[in-house]
Amino acid sequence: EAGVTQSPTHLIKTRGQQATLRCSPISGHTSVYWYQQALGLGLQFLLWYDEGEERNRGNFPPRFSGRQFPNYSSELNVNALELEDSALYLCASSSDRARTEAFFGQGTRLTVV
């Protein structure tokens, strides 16, 4: 069974541009979570989607947004990129909103230059 898959693996963008990161959850999982792992800041919760709805949001500015599609895959969009957005972005999925046992993908390494 395939795990959580993320694309692209690496992404290099220029400051001010937009980045789109994609995540496919484990088959049968309805909840998708996004986390940011920036150097020196540890793993920070970004967003939680379940059944197509945003259920919770971390302490990030509105230029971090996303959505979940009917097939439960998800996109994370980061607008007006700043140098500090350089980080590993991790997606996780769980089987339903009541379960937080989350399984992570390999991440997308975003570098903003």
Residues that bind another protein (CB under 8 A): 4, 31, 33, 35, 37, 42-45, 48, 55-56, 58, 88, 90, 92, 94, 97, 100-107
Closer Cβ to another protein, 21 or 92, answer by number: 92
Identify which of 104, 105, 49, 110 has the alpha carbon closest to the alpha carbon of residue 78: 110
Nearer to another protein, 16 or 93 (CB): 93
C-beta of 16 vs 96, nearer to another protein: 96
CB of 101 to another protein, least distance (A): 5
Q: CB nearer to another protein: give 12 or 80.
A: 12
d(CA 91, CA 108): 9
Rounded to 5 degrees, φ, ψ at 84 are -70, -10
Q: How far is the CB of 38 from another protein (least distance, A)?
A: 11
Closest CB 52 distance from another protein, rounded Å: 15
Q: Give the length of the chain.
A: 113
